[in-house]
Amino acid sequence: MDGEGLTVRTLAIAGAQTYDGAEFPLGLTCHARDATLEDVAAWVRKRRDDLLRRSSLHGAILFRGFPLATADDFDAFVAAFGLPNFPYDQSLSNAVRVNRTERVFTANEAPPEVTIFLHHEMAQTPVYPSRLFFFCEQPAEAGGATPLCRSDVLFTRIAGQLPQFARDCQRHGLKYNNVMPAEADLTSGMGRSWQSTLRAATREQAEQRLAALGYSWQWLPDGCLRATTPVLPAVRTLPDGRQVFFNQLIAAFQGWRDSRNDPAQAITLGNGQPLSREDVNLVADLAEQLTFDLPWQRGDVALVDNFVVMHGRRTFRGVRKVLASLIACDA
């Protein structure tokens, strides 16, 4: 993959998996020591369609050894793809994040001891990004890997081991339930306030946005807001026919716990039936068995197809700065 003064080769990644002859994740490394950010941007622009095709096929691409050091460099790398930005302030994400540039923000401000369980980004809302870019500005002292799991492979395993559960998910979809605080709660992985989540200054504005999105809601005496989504699909069929477990079931069931939220209440089938704890635990075990832990090095970029791969965050020690940038769906 030469061109624009850049030599890019495939990188063998320890522990990478292979499905249908495609490594997961695909590793690409840049060899030119004097390569500039401009060289990289030109290389991306020229290879864009091929890179996007490969990110969908493999699920994720790790770019290592490219000359990127800052949030601005990362912004320029993402901008070179020429894809529509998915701004955090317009998302219904429940994570607290801080913008660093217009398209780049901190991945999640939750404390180091909080595990973020596997999920497809914002699959618990009707509005989600198609692709995610992550950038390692500073790796943690220990831990802090980004677990990645191929959701198409997972769904095939679920259908084999829990056929009734797989059918229920396909037939009924899922509904999610969460309580948003009245003020940002930085101790929680889901501590974004309702005002920020819904871009609302008043309760009336919040209710208008929820109604437009098909949510139901309840105001709690302490000013928090309980919101329930409309029925959302739990399984998605990709254009190439692969079926993926596109939802936040694992994260909601295992991880939506803070002073306001109880994971057992967080999610039901679309018909209101509770999920079997045993089944969900088995699904989480299957996902864990399929997980590849991305070990961050300074300057790494990962491009993740949000329809193919789930991600999360391992606990860590020290300071970890992983930035993110999201791409809107093309349609």
Chain residues binding Fe ion by CB under 5 A are 121
Residue 121 or 185: which CB sits closer to Fe ion?
Answer: 121
Residue 195 or 248: which CB sits closer to Fe ion?
Answer: 248
- For tokens 């254009």, what's the residue? 239
Show the tokens assigned to 72: 């601005």
Residue 88 or 194: which CB sits closer to Fe ion?
Answer: 88
Per DSSP, helices labelled H in 121-276 are 151-161, 163-172, 194-197, 203-213, 249-255
Q: How far is the CB of 123 from Fe ion (least distance, A)?
A: 10
Residue at shortest CB range from Fe ion: 121
Residue 128 or 194: which CB sits closer to Fe ion?
Answer: 128
Element holding 152 (H helix, E strand): helix 151-161
Q: How far is the CB of 192 from Fe ion (least distance, A)?
A: 13
Q: Where are the beta strands (DSSP E) in 152-277?
A: 174-180, 216-219, 225-228, 236-237, 243-244, 267-269
Q: Are 306 and 120 in contact (CB under 8 A)?
A: yes
Task: Compute CA 264 distance to the chain's CA centroid, rounded to the nearest angstrom.
Answer: 22
Residue 75 or 121: which CB sits closer to Fe ion?
Answer: 121
Q: How far is the CB of 138 from Fe ion (least distance, A)?
A: 19
Q: How far is the CB of 209 from Fe ion (least distance, A)?
A: 21
Q: How far is the CB of 94 from Fe ion (least distance, A)?
A: 10
Sequence-distant (≥ 6) Cβ neighbours of residue 52 within 8 angstroms:
81, 131
